[in-house]
Amino acid sequence: MVAAGAATALAAAAVIAGLGLGRGGSSSSKQQAFRSGPVVLGAAFRGALAQSDPTYRAQLLSHGYGSLTPEYEMQMDGLEPERGIFDFVHADEAVAFARAHGMRVRGHTLVWGKQLPRWVTQPAAKWTRATLLPVLEQWIRTVVAHYRGLVAEWDVVNEPLNDDGTLQPSLWERVIGPDYIRLALETAHAADPAALLYINDYSTEWLDAKSNALFALARRLRRQGVPLGGIGFQVHSNTRTPVIQAQLEANMKRFGALGLRTDVTEMDVDLRSTRGSERSKLRAQARIYAAAAKACASSPTCETFTTWGFTDRYTWLGTAAQPLPFSAGYAPKPAWAAIKSGLDRDRRRNHV
């Protein structure tokens, strides 16, 4: 563990120093929002399993992923368990694993109302804007600077909106105020001007109050010159409220017109509420994955398509939800073929 601001090096720096940084760049350039090649397939992963479980590791490396997101290792409760004391060991290992295998890393997540350490949620003295804002800024500065040049994109603000489009009353919003979003993005940009910075949220794939509010927020930030570079569409879906391809495409189009990347960042499809035979459930799931993949492939600002894990064996929803493209036994499900087929329309267009 290291004190805030101390210079630290990744344990595997020698392994990864010579690797390319992947796509990054200034968040202010509209042209950088446009994809220059095929959609990059990504997955969230668990670094400890990648190190300790040979089957998990082999499967993770065998499906053509070009981007990995540490599922838990970069959240505040793990990285800063005590104020000003940072433990980068597990996050460093996750980043080193991805980079050593030629994959870009997506940083997740800097500012969220959940996964906060106890010293933040149960302070000795009640937080005020004057006392909490320096905590936020130091946290962001330390983490982003630590991975400068190694993590090319960050989910800076995670899940800031309610379903009706109002701001989530997180600790950051209640104490610092609505401008915590702007301040977080500006602080991250100062720590690594080359990183692409995202607002990441769920239930934004439809044209409704929430996506309208997110669009209004993004437009306002862009007009103010705030270094917002992308919108992460989480797409945690199910068969009751499935993805509507045309609406996701329309959302990607209007956000893309602001000069923003529009990536699918956390997709899964929960089957717990789905009735019918196993075969029919898996087909329904595949159709939802296909709709999202096609929307991404059809949108020139959608560069990465990431599922929140890859095997039903390890998922935040629990194995019974069967939400991912590979079974708990690592067998490919119809969803996997649907994703590949949906993204292949982009690969064919690019002759890859």
- In the chain, the amino acid numbered 315 is T
From the list 80, 186, 266, 303, the catalytic residue is 266
Q: Which of 329, 260, 330 is nearest to 301 (CA)?
A: 260
Nearest to 153 by CA among 94, 198, 113: 198
Question: Is 71 assigned a catalytic role?
Answer: no
What distance in Å separates the CA atoms of residue 153 and residue 245, rounded to the nearest whole number?
25
Nearest to 108 by CA among 142, 68, 145: 68
Nearest to 11 by CA among 112, 80, 93: 93
The helix-helix angle for 129-146 and 180-191 (nearest 10°) equals 30
In sequence order, what are the residues at sequence separation of 6 or more whose Cβ sits closer than 8 angstroms to the Cβ of residue 266? Answer: 44, 69, 200, 202, 232, 234, 235, 236, 306, 307, 308
CA-based R_g, the chain, Å: 19
Q: Is 82 a catalytic residue?
A: no
Of residues 73, 159, 205, 249, which has the active-site annotation? Answer: 159
Alpha helices in 179-316 (DSSP H): 180-191, 209-223, 245-256, 278-298
Distance (Å) of CA 213 to CA 10, 204, 206: 39, 10, 12
Kindly list the catalytic residues. Answer: 159, 266
